[in-house]
A and B are shown apart, each in its own frame.
Chain A
Amino acid sequence: MTENSTPALELTGIEMHYGFVRALDDIDIHVMPGEVVALLGDNGAGKSTLLKVMSGAHKPSHGSIRVHGQEQSFHAPSDAAEAGIQMVYQDLALVEPQDISTNLNMGQETLRKGPLGLLGFVDRKAMRRSSEAELDRLGVRTAPMTRPVEMLSGGQRQVVALARSAIRVNGESRGILLLDEPTAALGYEQTKNVEGLIERMAAQGIAIVIVTHDLPLCYEVADRMVILNRGKKCADVPVEGTDRDHVVGWITGSRASMFAA
């Protein structure tokens, strides 16, 4: 089977500019199905930018993206979503005045049955019920479904954003989940929940890229680490057997890149 050796997501030669700022410089990165890759790097290293390229939120200036071996060109996040990619953004990307259920169902609303459904009427009760069931299945809990997001704490918002993406890739064995600092606002217990969630998702065969500044979390959940320094990839190593001091060195730039040309 060649299937097993085809990465779920593979980016080659990615370059990305913000005006004159070069945020990404010739990045190659891939994730296998069921693999958890931690993307590490200092503030401003380009982690979020790289993830946004993967999710279709940004279009790279150069480079190619392959999803399960197929070359793709994303013009909007909807294209990436169609290819099975879901992302939790660092700024969460929630609609504050709307309630949790509406946010969770955004873009995949359940319509009412019958003629009202044809007119585009949504079935709010059904959406609330199914969202609650999905959250239960994922083992994450947050505030009541009818609570507007603006009334949630930072951690609760993060859980909502995470849950939305998780619900959408859950059960999709070819799914790809991109997480930009998903535990930054979470307490100890909730972080443990997210760890469990990531492990269960990976066990289903979902490919996961997680950006984090939390090294213990990285060692807990990730199989491989990719480290960025000022927009360049400077290390790509398995988690097992890699010294933390080396990792910190790559992150801060005090250790020479593995790929120095």
Chain B
Amino acid sequence: MTMTTPHVSTEVPDVAGAGADSPGPAPVPTGSDVPRAVSVLVFLRDRGIFMLWGLLILVFAFWCSPYFFTVDNAILVANAGALTALFAAGVGIGIMTGVLDLSLPGTAALASCVTGWMLTHDYNTALSLLAGLAIGVAVGLVNGAISLRGFNPIIVTIGTLSVLTGLASVVAGGYTFPGLTQLEFMGTHRYLRIGEGGSTFTGIPAPVFIVAVVFFVGTVFLTRTRDGLRLMAVGANAEAVRRAGIHSDRYKVLGFVISGVLAAVGGLVNTANVTEASPVASPGILFTALTAVALAGVALTGGRGSLPRVLVGALILATIANGLIIRGIQPYWATVATGALLLGSLMFERVLQTAVSERLMTANLSVHARN
């Protein structure tokens, strides 16, 4: 983790845990730096979910052989997890930047209905999609503006959820917008198909590409750009960011806007998949997304977590569902398994966290003892 880069030495033996490396290009780690065991534990804590996923794949590969471990099935899993992943990205970025946005299903419904209405009234497809995304931006701005007045974001977004669901029904006039085949290109259509008919490769469904782009751009944004870093910092400690001379309010709103846009994307992809825009906001997707985010170990306190882990969280849910379906096990067992996994991972994390703090503590103590 942090020990590979060259760094300046410390001259303060009385400060606990200080690295005692010599300056220069080749630092020599010494006993008073972060102990090896701690870095291993921290690695497990931060990367555990990737291993968990690998383990699941391994188990299913044997248990569901030969149907599970195939390219076609991998694509199936990816496609099935796509919607969860999009909403999980929205929920996850929200939580990382310090807000739990519960209005996501409402945003998705309104965005789909606005796009559906425009498509049904023969507006240009691109324009209709842009309008749907603009709904996401607008909802984010409203959520952000209200929350900035000091109201609890959870209550605020419960309020907007209700308003948005109602508005979606108003737009749809009590019905749905069926037959939106214009959106097939981002729904059921598969790209990169090799060979025709009895083909060798059936291609990758559009939602998988969308998820890939969203997570790639999102990860790069959050970890490599100035605004992304500030956004994460606001999630961890907004007041600290404000005191560092940054307009932290703008970043709070930005967090809402991003999660709103991702909800709109999720709604539109779902609409494209079923070629129908429905005003019914399903809170279920929110909870599935939250499960994926929780599995990814994104702390509800904000400022921590990573999008790749959220993606793996969503894929784990899809993998479990898929494996159990292949074995012909009733789908509700997938829900049970997911819940158990989540609780198990919570406990695992607690154990790791305690081990890390204990080790850091004793490391500090030993540094003091030597002086």
Q: Mark A residues whose CB is within 8 Å of B.
A: 55, 57, 76-78, 80-82, 87, 89, 92-99, 102, 106-107, 109, 111, 119-122, 128, 132, 135-136, 141-148, 151-153, 155-156, 159, 164, 186-190, 193
Q: Do B236 and A98 have beta carbons less than 8 Å apart?
A: yes
User: B225 touches which one: A107, A122, A132 (CB < 8 A)?
Assistant: A122
Q: Do A76 and B364 have beta carbons less than 8 Å apart?
A: no
Q: Give B217-258 interface residues, CB cut-off 8 Å to A.
A: 224-230, 232-233, 236-237, 239-247
Chain B positions within 8 Å of A92 at CB level: 240
How many Å lie between the Cα of A57 and that of B13 in the bound state?
34
Q: Looking at chain B, what size class is its interface with the partner chain?
A: 35 or more
User: A109 touches which one: B7, B19, B229 (CB < 8 A)?
Assistant: B229
Q: Do A102 and B229 have beta carbons less than 8 Å apart?
A: yes
Chain B's nearest CB lies how many Å from the CB of A78? 4
Given contacts A144-B19, A146-B7, A189-B12, contact A107 B246 (CB under 8 A): yes
Given contact pairs A92-B240, A120-B226, enumerate 10 new A-B contacts (beta carbons under 8 Å).
A57-B243, A77-B244, A93-B243, A107-B245, A107-B246, A121-B224, A141-B8, A144-B5, A144-B21, A187-B12
Q: Do B227 and A95 have beta carbons less than 8 Å apart?
A: no
Give me 12 A-to-B residue pairs in the complex whose CB atoms sit less than 8 angstroms apart, sorted by A's number.
A76-B242, A76-B247, A80-B245, A97-B303, A98-B233, A106-B230, A107-B246, A122-B226, A156-B18, A187-B14, A189-B13, A190-B15
Chain B's nearest CB lies how many Å from the CB of A128? 7
Chain A's nearest CB lies how many Å from the CB of B249? 9
How many Å lie between the Cα of A96 and that of B246 in the bound state?
17
Chain B positions within 8 Å of A95 at CB level: 233, 236-237, 240-241, 303
Q: Which 4 residue pairs of A and B lie closest in terms of their CB atoms, listed nearest first?
A: A187-B14, A144-B7, A81-B245, A93-B240
Q: Do A119 and B14 have beta carbons less than 8 Å apart?
A: no
Chain B's nearest CB lies how many Å from the CB of A142? 6
Chain A's nearest CB lies how many Å from the CB of B221? 8
Chain B's nearest CB lies how many Å from the CB of A234? 29
Chain A positions within 8 Å of B237 at CB level: 93-96
Q: Do B2 and A106 have beta carbons less than 8 Å apart?
A: no
Instruction: Check if B9 is an interface residue, CB within 8 A of chain A.
Output: yes
Chain B's nearest CB lies how many Å from the CB of A160? 11
Instruction: Check if B342 is an interface residue, CB within 8 A of chain A.
Output: no
Interface centre among A109, A111, A144, A189 (most CB of B within 10 A): A144
How many Å lie between the Cα of A148 and that of B46 in the bound state?
14
Chain A positions within 8 Å of B17 at CB level: 143, 151-153, 156
Chain B positions within 8 Å of A121 at CB level: 224-226
Instruction: Check if B11 is an interface residue, CB within 8 A of chain A.
Output: yes
How many Å lie between the Cα of A131 and that of B126 in the bound state?
46
Contact with A along B291-323 (1 / 0, CB 8 A): 000000000000110000000000000000000
How many Å lie between the Cα of A135 and that of B232 in the bound state?
25
How many Å lie between the Cα of A77 and that of B249 in the bound state?
13
Chain A positions within 8 Å of B3 at CB level: 144
Q: Do B14 and A188 have beta carbons less than 8 Å apart?
A: yes
Smallest Cβ-Cβ distance to B21: which chain A residue? A144
Given contacts A106-B246, A122-B229, A145-B5, contact A153 B15 (CB under 8 A): yes
Instruction: Check if B10 is an interface residue, CB within 8 A of chain A.
Output: yes
Chain B's nearest CB lies how many Å from the CB of A48? 12
Instruction: Check if B360 is an interface residue, CB within 8 A of chain A.
Output: yes
Q: Do A77 and B243 have beta carbons less than 8 Å apart?
A: yes
Instruction: Check if B16 is an interface residue, CB within 8 A of chain A.
Output: yes
Chain A positions within 8 Å of B360 at CB level: 151
Chain B's nearest CB lies how many Å from the CB of A70? 19
Smallest Cβ-Cβ distance to A165: which chain B residue? B244
Chain B's nearest CB lies how many Å from the CB of A151? 7
Chain B's nearest CB lies how many Å from the CB of A186? 8
Chain A positions within 8 Å of B13 at CB level: 189
Instruction: Check if B44 is an interface residue, CB within 8 A of chain A.
Output: no
Chain A positions within 8 Å of B19 at CB level: 143-144, 147
Smallest Cβ-Cβ distance to A131: which chain B residue? B8
How many Å lie between the Cα of A97 and that of B236 in the bound state?
7
Contact with A along B1-38 (1 / 0, CB 8 A): 01101011111111111110100000000000010000
How many Å lie between the Cα of A226 and that of B364 in the bound state?
37
Chain A positions within 8 Å of B236 at CB level: 95-98
Q: Do A98 and B229 have beta carbons less than 8 Å apart?
A: yes
Smallest Cβ-Cβ distance to B305: which chain A residue? A97
Chain A positions within 8 Å of B18 at CB level: 142-143, 153, 156
Chain A positions within 8 Å of B5 at CB level: 128, 144-146
Q: Do B2 and A153 have beta carbons less than 8 Å apart?
A: no
How many Å lie between the Cα of A135 and that of B11 in the bound state?
13
Given contacts A132-B7, A187-B15, contact A148 B2 (CB under 8 A): yes
